[in-house]
Amino acid sequence: MNEIRRGTLPTETFYERVGGEATFRKLVKRFYEGVADDPLLRPMYPEEDLGPAEERFALFLMQYWGGPRTYSDRRGHPRLRMRHAPFTVDRAAHDAWLRHMRDAIDTLGLDPEDEAEMWRYMVYAAGSMINTPG
């Protein structure tokens, strides 16, 4: 009985539980609106159009949380630390990135436990992406 919480089946993925693709699209759209206006982060993104970066990030997160594997079909193994190596990810970039992510998560209206789980992951993942001291 205990494993059946909030009326969900134990086999349901986090991806499904939080609303599937629409939720991740909304999250990433809001996140990139923040990046587009950020004087530290915006210059780091190599492409003029942030649309393709938004698409890659949305597909990655959907896959990570148990949704379709489209990210890896298109991009191969994520290898995120390696893919971030060309960029200076220092404490300031980390803090700015997480600030926009916090703001984006707050717009989703998730169940508090799901929200906390997503946030914990983002904090952990952002910390692991730092590749430059200072």
Residues near ligand HEM (CB under 6 A) are 41, 44-47, 53, 56-57, 60, 75, 80, 83-84, 87, 89, 93-94, 97, 125-126, 129
Q: How far is the CB of 46 from ligand HEM (least distance, A)?
A: 6
Residue with Cβ nearer ligand HEM (13 or 72):
72
C-beta separation of 77 from 40 below 8 A: no
Residue with Cβ nearer ligand HEM (12 or 73):
73
| 26/38 Cα distance (integer angstroms) | 19
Residue with Cβ nearer ligand HEM (107 or 128):
128
Q: How far is the CB of 3 from ligand HEM (least distance, A)?
A: 27
| 112/92 Cα distance (integer angstroms) | 28
| 40/38 Cα distance (integer angstroms) | 6
Residue with Cβ nearer ligand HEM (5 or 80):
80
**Structural Rg of the chain based on CA atoms:** 16
| 112/14 Cα distance (integer angstroms) | 13
Q: How far is the CB of 9 from ligand HEM (least distance, A)?
A: 26
DSSP state letters, 63-101: HHTTS--HHHHHH-S--HHHHHTTS---HHHHHHHHHHH
Q: How far is the CB of 8 from ligand HEM (least distance, A)?
A: 24
